[in-house]
Amino acid sequence: MHSCTSVSLDLIFHLGFANNSSLRPFRRSRLCLSQERGIIKPENRHDKGTFTEYNKLGTKDDLLISHSPVAQQDSLPPLVSALKASAEQKVASFHFPGHNRGRAAPPSLTQIIGLKSFSHDLPALPELDNLFSPVGPILEAQRQAAKLFGSSETWFLVGGTTCGIQAAIMATCSPGEFLILPRNTHLSAISAMVLSGARPKYIIPQYDFKWDIAGGVTTSQVEQAVKELEMEGQRAAAVFITSPTYHGICSNLTEISQLCHSHGIPLIVDEAHGAHLGFHPQLPNSALQQGADLAVQSTHKVLCSLTQSSMLHMSGNMVDRERICRCLQTLQSTSPSYLLLASLDAARSQLSENPDTIFNRAMELAFEAKYLIKEIPGISVLDLARFSNFPAIDPLRLTIGFWQLGLSGYEADEFLCRDHGIVCELVGNRSNTFTINLGTSRDDIQMLILGIEHLVGITAPIDGEKGYGEFDGYTPFADIKMSLIPRDAFFASKKKVGIGESLGKVCGELICPYPPGIPVMIPGEVITEKALEYLLDVRSKGAVITGASDTSLSSIVVCNV
């Protein structure tokens, strides 16, 4: 076995990632024609999910060549096949939508997506099945997805993971029942509590101030929340965990699911960023593989379905499937897009062709990119050492810190995008997150390396580790006092007050800055001085404030209580 440090320096430092800095000499290394193949594995358990195992690095010339597209399937998956056959029928169409199979498609949009997309944009025709009572190709497509992902049943979603999370919480929590969940949960879980009337029992996740990033949830935190409810004579109706987080941090769902089941509590996992998990030896196991009862995945994120399409998976019989069906019918459109549904079927089919090897190339690229970027002075790369209480970080997430250069994530993003055409997934206060997927090429990695090297070349590193604007040692949700449950706050009468008058009042709107994408104020919580300071701080540094009626934060909506 070769350790990470035993990889040939010639290979690592001369991959042809030329330095394009205007302040330093331009040099492109010639590449040798061969290189011994090796296997790179983690040196300890904390490295799980950080490095990739692969058969060989290949020749250096290979490393500069974009990999070929994913292989095409020989036969069409069931829903894709049904949609294709229906679109090819010679019929007089007297049904919706009004573009009439593309005959009246808006010319401005056909210039972008062509006519074929419109000809396949069909309604719930008999041959295409019905999403809410499937008996044909939708049923077969969902069954094949369930088999691939290891669920007892899978539902296709056209309202994104948002509607899946809402359905999962509504199916497990009735009005007044308690839901244990992290305070940095996705906004959809808050709206689900408004819809269901569930009462939140919040867990405060680990927070890393250097990176300005929240971690996952530990088993002991869940156990403590369960015990606290029991001491109050209450019981949790469900536990809701986000794993992996936006930055790829994974909680120990195996232990958490065992704990939940020992108390007869179902475990719901927001796995929006983890539809690919479990499909490579160096990827963490999926939520279902770790015992989750319900898992909601954004198939459109790392996998390849169309944006807004997701899947809800169920395992076991702890959750009432009929209640899930009723919730989904309540939340989803009665006119679902068959393009979105077919894209879910197609993405499943693409993955099932080579489920054990399809991510090999992406894993290689992710490892090489991280290794090279770590060698660039003034640049930090997030690894599991910052969150050692957790079993893994998704290796396909690359979070890079720029504070040693005296730059915020916003400033680095502006430079990389404007001058190098590099578009990241998540812009943060102190870092940016890049995602590597099946479509990532070596050209993309080369552009990223060149862009970062250029940024370093024109920026003088500052002294010390603190660098750019570290916060003052408190989380954005450190001081929580809930006056109303989210549902009651949502329906309460409200008024708008100046920010100076809002202190101590009950928040009437959900205020969430991006970054870090964590709700700082949730309807029903008492507005604190620390929360206001945090909001004003991140807004001054470029964060986008969502949910607030006044994004300048000169005023805030509060409840009349």
Q: What is the pLDDT of residues 539-561, one digit of tens each?
A: 887 788 888 999 889 999 999 98
Nearest alpha-carbon partner for 350 in 12, 60, 71: 71
d(CA 496, CA 463) in angstroms, rounded, equals 45
Burial status of residue 36 (CB atoms within 10 A of its CB: 0-12, 13-18, 19 or more): exposed
Cα–Cα dist 182/200, whole Å: 9
Q: Would you tell me how many other CB atoms lie within 10 Å of the CB of residue 255?
A: 17
| Percent above pLDDT 90 for the chain | 74
CA atoms within 13 A on the CB side of 99: 16
Instruction: Answer whether residue 34 shows pLDDT above 60.
Output: no
- Eight-class DSSP state of 180: E
Predicted local confidence at residue 206, as pLDDT: 87
- What pLDDT is recorded for position 425? 95
CB distance 313 to 146 below 8 Å: yes
Cα 168 to Cα 185: distance, rounded to the nearest angstrom: 14
Angle, in degrees to the nearest 10, between helices 187-196 and 160-172: 40
Residue 160 and residue 162: Cα distance in Å, rounded? 5
**Measured distance CA(148)–CA(151) in Å, rounded:** 8
**Which residue segments constitute the domains of the chain, with CATH numbers given?**
98-127 (no CATH), 137-354 (3.40.640.10), 359-458 (3.90.1150.10), 481-559 (3.90.100.10)
Measured between alpha carbons, how far is residue 326 from residues 208, 329, 341, 460 in Å?
A: 40, 5, 19, 59
Taking the C-alpha atoms of residue 392 and residue 327, their distance in angstroms, rounded to an integer, is: 33
Q: What is the pLDDT of residue 454?
A: 97
As a 3-state breakdown, the chain gives helix, strand, coil percent values, each rounded to 5, of 35, 15, 50
Pairing of strands 426-427, 431-435: antiparallel
- In this prediction, residue 20 carries a pLDDT of 37
Retrieve residue 183's tokens: 């305070």
Please give the Cα distance from 251 to 426 (Å, whole number): 21
CB of 76 within 8 A of CB of 84? yes
Residue the block writes with tokens 């007044």: 176
| Structure token pair of residue 464 | 């010390």
Block residue for tokens 């998956």: 77
3-state class (DSSP) for residue 430: coil
Least confident of 192-206, 411-425, 461-475: 461-475
The region of weakest confidence among 22-26, 420-424, 486-490 is 22-26
pTM of the predicted model, to two decimals? 0.86
Q: What 3-state DSSP class applies to 359?
A: coil
Report the alpha-carbon distance of residue 528 to residue 553 in Å, rounded: 14
What is the average pLDDT value for the chain, to the nearest integer? Answer: 86
- CA dist 1 and 150 (Å) reads 32
Strand order in the sheet with 426-427: 380-381, 397-401, 431-435, 426-427
pLDDT in tens, 417-473: 999 999 999 998 889 999 999 999 999 999 999 999 999 999 976 655 555 555 555
DSSP state of 391: S
The pair of three-digit structure tokens given for residue 524, joined into one six-digit string: 């029903």
**Cβ proximity of 264 and 294 under 8 Å:** no
